[in-house]
Structure 1
C-alpha cells in the first residue's frame, strides 16, 4: 500500500469513529505532515483521496473539511416491485430526442459523451494522420471480425492485468459499445424471450428489447446499494429469464457503482439459474480515486457474462471502437457482425494499437478522471446551493452525470422541451424508464468547464424549475 493510501486509510477511520465531526476542519497540510511524519505531497494525495471518496471537501484558501451527509449519495427511491413490460415503445422518442440535440448551438448537458475538449489527444490524432498516409492501414482483411489481432492482444492484456484470464480470441472488436451490446443480445436471445433490465437504464437497452420483441422484466433500484439482490433472485425464480442487461459501474443515468461483493453474488446467481448477463461497462475507466471497480466478469466462472465496453467515452465519439469479451460465443457474435456492421474501420484499429502501446493512454485517463471529478463537484455544489429544496441531486464519485429528482408536478420531458427553446439540452427520464411514476428526473452531463456560459445555462435550468406551475390539467408552464 502506498504511503498516501496508508494515511488516507488512517484518516478514514478517524472520520468513521467520529473523532472528526462533519464540517470540522482537518489539520492543515503542514500540520498533518509534522504530526504524521509524511511529506507534504503525501498528505495532499491522502486528502485528495478522501475527497474523491466524498469524505472531505476543500474550501478555497481555507483547507479541507469533513463532509456531511449532503455530499453522500442520496438514497434512491423504491417505487415498485419488479414488473413485466411486454410492449416497449421507446425508439421513436429516442430518435426525436437525439435529433433535437444535434445542432451545434445546443449546450449539450444532455449528451452521453464527455466534453470533447477533455478528450482531445494531439498524439492520437498525429498517429491517425500517419496511418492515413499508409496504404496497408486501409486494408480490411486483417480487420474483419473478430478484428485486428494486435488490438485484440492489447485489450486481452488489459483484462489480464485486472485479474481476468483472457486470450485474444476471446475478444471481438465492434463499432462501439452499443454495437457490442446489440450483437451480444442477438447471440443469446430470440423474439419472445424474457430479458431483465434495471428499471432505470440506458435507452439503448429499451431500444434493443423493442426491436427484438422481448418481454422485459424491470428490476427496481435498491435505495441503498443500487442493486437489489433479493428482488433479482425472485425475478430469476418467477420468470423464464434468458438474459440480463445490466450496468453496474458508473450507472447511466443515475451514477452509482455496485459493490464488488454484490457483483460476486450476481455472478453466483447467474450460474445457479443458467442465465446470461450482458454487462454494459462502457464507463469502467471513469472512476474517481485510486481503486478501479471490478466487473461481474471478474467473478464469472461459468462463462455467463458477455462483457462489453468501448473507447468512445475516453477518446471521443470519433473513436467508436468497442468490443465483446466472451470465449464460447465469440464465433456466433462474429457471424452476426458479418451480417450487420461487417467490420470496424481498419484505420482506427491500427491507430489505437499504436496509441495504446505507449504510456499516452494511461496518462490521458489519469488526467481525464481528475478533470471529470473537478467539474462534477463544481456542478453538484452549485446545484445544491441554488436548486429548490424539493429537488434532490444524486452524487456518486465516478463518471460525469448527475441525476436530479424534480418536484413531482414537473414533467422532465416538458422541462427538456422548454430548455431547448433556450438552446440548452438535458436528458429527461423518459429516455431511461417506461415507469410513468418516474418521469420527474433529469440527467445532467457535468463534464464541462464551469464558465460564465455554463453558470448562465444552469441558472436558466434552475429558474425553469423554480417557476414551474402546476394546474388542474397537469400541464407545465414556465412563467416567471
Structure 2
C-alpha cells in the first residue's frame, strides 16, 4: 500500500528526531521553508507536522512555529491523546435545547432535583431582603464581590486547613464562569492544556472558544487519573494549564485519593504548571469527612480553585467563586468585560443564610437524600439492565454512568429516549474522541416515584433491545 506524501515527510522528520540530529527544543523549519526544501505542498507539510505533534514528537508555540519535544522518555502514551481541532459547541447547544421540552423526565440534567434544593429558610431570607431597595445596591457587590460573602467563603477554606483571606476570593456568576475566567486569565490562543479524557463538556467548550490545544490524560480504573500517563505527557508538551475535577467527578463520579492528589500536586510544582480545579460537587460527598481539594496541596499559588452554590442550592443561586490569589485583579478585569458581577440580591441572601447553622443543616440533609436516591436507582438498574451493560458506581454525588455494549451508540440511545420524553446525557458530550468510553450518564437525585420507575423501565427496555440487536448482527 503506497505511503501518503505527508506520511513520507513525517517519517523523514521523525528519523531526524529519533537519531538526535534534531535535539530537544530545536526549532523546525517553518511551513514555507519546509515546502521550499522538500518540494511538497503546504497542505502536505502541515499534515506531516500535525502527525508528529499528535505523536508527542514536536510541539508548537503561538506565532513562533514548531519545536522538537523532549525525548528523554518514549513518545506520548497512546492512551493520552492530542485532541484534533475542537468543535463541540454546536453539539452541546443542540443537546441543551433538546432537554428543554415540557414534561421531560430530566435524567440528563446536571443539577440535583429542584425539590431537594432551595430550603425554606433561604426562601424566607430572599423574600425579606427583596422588600428593601438597599438589597439591590450593586456598588458593594461589584468585582471582587460582596465582602461579607468572601469572608465566609475564606473561613470555610481555613476550616479545611487552607490559609485564605477574603481578598483571595472573587465572586462569579456561577462555577462555569469561575472556570472560564480562570482559563482565560492563564492562557493565550495556541497554548497546550490538559483535560481528563472524560470530562465536563464546559471544559471542551472553553478550549474551543479560546483556541487552545488539548491533550487528554486517561482515567485509571482504581486511581481515577493515570498519574504515569500524566507525568509522561507533561514531559513531552509545554503544558500551560490543567483543568481537572478530583472530587465527585462529572460524569464518572470518582473521587481521587489524597495520595494521588499529592503526587499530581508535586508534578505541577516541579514543572510549574497551573491547575484550574473544578470542584462544584465538593459538598456532595458520602461519608463523615469532606475530601480535600487540590488547593490544600498547592505550592507557589499554582492552583485556582473554583466552586459554586448552584449544586447545593439550585440553579437560581448560580453564584460561584474562584480562589484566585495573586490573579484576583486580573480575574476582576476580565469580569468587568463580560459578566460584570453575580446577582446582588442573591449575594446578600447568601451572606445571611451562610452566617447561621441553616446551610450546614441543609447540606447534611441533602447528602443523605442523594445517597438514598442514588442507591435506589443503582439497585433497580442493576437488577433490570441487560448483562452486556455495567454500571459505574462511585460514592458521593448523584450521577451513575451506564457503560454500553461494544459498538453501541450513546447518541442513538439518547435520541431514542428523547422521542419518549426521557432525557439522558450521552458520552459524546464528555469524551471528544469517543474511543475509550461509551456510556450514558443518569441523574439519580430524584425521589423514587411511579413516574421515575416508568422512565427507568423504558430505559432498560431500550438497552435490552439494543443489546439483542447487536447480538443478532
Length-normalised TM-score, structure 1: 0.81
Confirm or deny that 1:382 pairs with 2:393: no
Verify the 8 A CA contact 1:287 1:397 in the aligned structure 2: yes
Distance apart, 1:308 and its partner CA:
0.0
How far apart in 2 are the matches of 1:463 and 1:263? 40
Confirm or deny that 1:101 pairs with 2:94: no
How far apart in 2 are the matches of 1:282 and 1:436? 25
5+ residue gaps in structure 2? 1-76
Distance apart, 1:439 and its partner CA:
5.7
> Larger C-alpha radius of gyration, 1 or 2?
2
Confirm or deny that 1:118 pairs with 2:116: yes
How far apart in 2 are the matches of 1:406 and 1:281? 27
Q: Give the aligned partner of residue 246 of structure 2.
A: 248
Question: Are the structure 2 counterparts of residues 128 and 386 from structure 1 closer, same or farther at C-alpha, using a change threshold of 3 Å?
Answer: same
Q: Give the aligned partner of residue 315 of structure 1.
A: 313
Question: Are the structure 2 counterparts of residues 435 and 465 from structure 1 closer, same or farther at C-alpha, using a change threshold of 3 Å?
Answer: same
Deviations 1:293-336 (A, max 9, x none): 00110010210000000000000000000000021100000000
Confirm or deny that 1:195 pairs with 2:193: yes
Q: Give the aligned partner of residue 353 of structure 1.
A: 351
Confirm or deny that 1:151 pairs with 2:149: yes
Q: Give the aligned partner of residue 267 of structure 2.
A: 269
Q: Give the aligned partner of residue 79 of structure 2.
A: 81
How far apart in 1 are the matches of 2:248 and 2:102? 27
How far apart in 1 are the matches of 2:78 and 2:91? 24
Matches within 5 A, 1:14-163: 80-163=78-161
Question: Are the structure 2 counterparts of residues 135 and 412 from structure 1 closer, same or farther at C-alpha, using a change threshold of 3 Å?
Answer: same
Verify the 8 A CA contact 2:112 2:311 in the aligned structure 1: yes
Confirm or deny that 1:303 pairs with 2:319: no
Question: Are the structure 2 counterparts of residues 438 and 413 from structure 1 closer, same or farther at C-alpha, using a change threshold of 3 Å?
Answer: farther
Distance apart, 1:471 and its partner CA:
7.3
Deviations 1:381-422 (A, max 9, x none): 111111111111011110000011011232011100000111
Q: Give the aligned partner of residue 404 of structure 1.
A: 402
* DSSP 3-state at the match of 2:441: strand
How far apart in 1 are the matches of 2:391 and 2:317? 31
The partner residue of 2:418 within 395, 420, 426 is 420
Distance apart, 1:177 and its partner CA:
0.2
How far apart in 1 are the matches of 2:342 and 2:370? 29
Deviations 1:171-225 (A, max 9, x none): 0000000000000000000100000000000000000001111100010101211
Verify the 8 A CA contact 2:370 2:397 in the aligned structure 1: yes
Matches within 5 A, 1:157-306: 157-306=155-304
Question: Are the structure 2 counterparts of residues 96 and 142 from structure 1 closer, same or farther at C-alpha, using a change threshold of 3 Å?
Answer: same
Verify the 8 A CA contact 2:192 2:240 in the aligned structure 1: yes
Q: CA RMSD in A?
A: 1.7
The partner residue of 1:366 within 349, 357, 364 is 364
5+ residue gaps in structure 1? 1-78
Verify the 8 A CA contact 1:430 1:439 in the aligned structure 2: no
Verify the 8 A CA contact 2:324 2:331 in the aligned structure 1: no
Verify the 8 A CA contact 2:405 2:467 in the aligned structure 1: no
Question: Are the structure 2 counterparts of residues 453 and 471 from structure 1 closer, same or farther at C-alpha, using a change threshold of 3 Å?
Answer: closer
Deviations 1:108-138 (A, max 9, x none): 1000000000103111011111111111111
Confirm or deny that 1:327 pairs with 2:316: no
- Once the two structures are overlaid, the 10-residue window that deviates more, 380-389 or 310-319, is 380-389
Length-normalised TM-score, structure 2: 0.82
Q: Give the aligned partner of residue 72 of structure 1.
A: none
How far apart in 1 are the matches of 2:128 and 2:144? 24
* DSSP 3-state at the match of 1:437: coil
Distance apart, 1:268 and its partner CA:
1.1
Deviations 1:29-68 (A, max 9, x none): xxxxxxxxxxxxxxxxxxxxxxxxxxxxxxxxxxxxxxxx
How far apart in 2 are the matches of 1:302 and 1:270? 10
* DSSP 3-state at the match of 1:464: helix
Distance apart, 1:440 and its partner CA:
2.5
Q: Structure 1: which 4+ aligned runs deviate by more than 4 Å?
A: 469-472
Confirm or deny that 1:457 pairs with 2:440: no
Verify the 8 A CA contact 1:279 1:307 in the aligned structure 2: yes
* DSSP 3-state at the match of 2:171: strand
